[in-house]
Structure 1
């Protein structure tokens, strides 16, 4: 493994590898395809994803985490077969250097409103591909790459699948309220 000068772990820093799984969720609107990004405090946008529990495979983890973080049940998702992408990144948490591998699947929903978990996220938005890329900025290159792969995959598949009925888009960002317990509704 190579490290840049800013990424060299100190001798006291533990290195931890973990694998998480989730979904790139999209919906079709009158304005085109919109991708779901969840907002975590600290200016961090990403897909619904999370850690494996004992006995789970990556797909069951992705389904469980997506439901926990968005309220979207398996019955509200149309899984798009043939798509599986990986994102890898590293970050420091306390005295640990964590190397994450994220396994992402692709799913469509017709639900414009989701219920975020206020413990994990403070908002969400449905973005066009171009707006999602701008929002992710230069910092999240891996997430941008996965989004690009998903968008290209959908373009290739669009010839074999008719578009879903349009759903009117909601306001771009739904904030949660701690006092009322409103989870993005």
Structure 2
């Protein structure tokens, strides 16, 4: 069985010299918190998907972001017993005051420091990803 593919961006901003990560709360299922991401459409690259989904789910375009294409991580897990692969890239919001516009797929958003972002993400692989990306964000 081939894995369902998804892609997204882990977006951070610097506020008062502190790194904050953007997490969106889904309006479906368990209402979990996640960076903007979504399924790869047929014929679409992971990269194109990440940009499209970020625009659809958060209203942010590539022009709003400084994307670090060399800072990437792929997560492998199961959803309802089926394999899923999600590719994430790290991205910095150029204007920390830029408004995020949620889609109907999400009911809330939070900008959080890494520890709080890890706490509400709930999944060990996402906690590890956030820790690794936070180390990079501190020096970018």
TM over 0.5: yes
Distance 2:2 2:108 in 1: 29
Report Cα offsets for 1:94-130 as digits up to 9, x if no partner.
Answer: xxx3211100001111254201101x11111000011
Structure with a larger share of its residues in helix: 2
The reply on whether 1:104 has 2:88 as its aligned counterpart is: yes
Pick 1 or 2: higher relative contact order, CA cutoff 8 A, min separation 6. 2
Among 22, 25, 42, the alignment partner of 2:11 is 25
Report Cα offsets for 1:2-45 as digits up to 9, x if no partner.
Answer: xxxxxxxxxxxxx6621100000000001601000000132300
Q: Which of these two proteins has the greater Rg computed from alpha carbons?
A: 1
Among 92, 109, 124, the alignment partner of 1:124 is 109
Distance 1:106 1:71 in 2: 17
Distance 1:72 1:121 in 2: 14
The reply on whether 1:142 has 2:128 as its aligned counterpart is: no
RMSD (CA atoms): 1.6
The structural deviation recorded for 1:55 is 2.4
- Gapped runs of 5+ residues in structure 2? none
Size of the alignment, in residue pairs? Answer: 136
DSSP 3-state at the match of 1:114 = coil
Dislocated runs of 4+, deviation >3 Å: none
The reply on whether 1:52 has 2:40 as its aligned counterpart is: yes
- Gapped runs of 5+ residues in structure 1? 1-14, 162-185
TM-score, normalised to structure 1's length? Answer: 0.68
Structure with a larger share of its residues in strand: 2
Between 20-29 and 39-48, the greater mean CA deviation after superposition: 39-48
